[in-house]
Structure 1
Amino acid sequence: MTHTTEVVAVLKEFKDFIMKGNLVEIAVGLILALAFKTVVDSLVADVITPIIAAIGGQPNFDSLTLDIGDGEIRYGAFLNTIISFLIIGFILFLIVKAYNKMVEMSRRKGETEETEEDSAEVVLLREIRDSLAGRPGGGAPLR
């Protein structure tokens, strides 16, 4: 194999890998999640933190620090991150809960559609089964 054919084979493998449906869906989900994170960060920094600050008197959690010697622990920024995490976790919980409910409703709908009206083949197979069961020795498995 020449160097060029090896490169072409690797590129074809890479193209096949990239074009798989799940990988594309995961990439889109990741991009949306990153965009969603910026929205939640803004919600925390621009809406929730000022509301909490108005109640507690602290205008910005980022300024909350703890000095230990020459070091500074910025626990206020950590509090903002915790609030963002909790909001994202709660919203993801609601999304998963709604998704599971839709899947369950779809599953129930699929079951009722199949049981309410059987296809012609199912009716025919049941008639054949019933007629075979009525024969002498009926219902015995065929060998």
Structure 2
Amino acid sequence: MKGFKSFVMQGNVIDLAVGVVIGGAFTALIGAFVDNLIQPVINVFGGDNPVGLAFAIIKGNDATIVNIGAVLSAIIAFLITAAVVYFVFVLPISSARKLDRKRRGLPEEEETAVSEDIILLTEIRDALTAQRDGSSPQS
């Protein structure tokens, strides 16, 4: 029980729980926005069709309805969600991390260096290519 308690009390678990709760509320908010504001605008393009941009493959059979408006609404909801997550969470956190590294005097994050294995494999590739083509390897 002690191990479970320390696991639950870790910051990561609590942060994850808060993220899930806020994510659920955020999803409901975006869903309501799209269903009540975006979907009616998309359905306008369906003309006189009472279901907007939907059509039935077999007339009178509701199981064969293809609802293009709902798909477009889902795409718009995804794009709105992705944009908000990026601009509200990812971008500020990334900027804060860069500022923190700068303030601490730490070097900027560097790209990973090419390992010796990759260098050796590149040399072998160049040698095999030169041997096949009859030319000298490139350096």
1:6-36 CA-partner distances (Å, limit 9, x unpaired): xxxxx44433332222111101101101111
Higher Rg: 1
* CA distance in 2: counterparts of 1:58 and 1:41, whole angstroms: 24
TM-score between the two structures when normalised by the length of structure 2: 0.57
In the alignment, structure 1 segments of 5+ residues that lack a partner are 1-10, 113-143
Which residue matches 1:88? Answer: 81
Q: How many residues align?
A: 101
In the alignment, structure 2 segments of 5+ residues that lack a partner are 107-139
Q: CA distance change for structure 1 residues 63 and 78 in 2, over 3 Å: closer, same or farther?
A: same
**1:22 is the counterpart of 2:26:** no
1:26-65 matches, within 5 Å, as 26-51=16-41, 56=45, 63-65=52-54
Q: CA distance change for structure 1 residues 58 and 42 in 2, over 3 Å: closer, same or farther?
A: farther
- Two-structure CA RMSD over aligned residues (Å): 3.0
TM-score between the two structures when normalised by the length of structure 1: 0.56
Which structure carries more relative contact order (alpha carbon 8 Å, separation 6+)?
2
List, as ranges, runs of 4+ consecutive aligned residues in structure 1 with deviation greater than 4 Å: 50-54, 56-59
More helix by share: 1
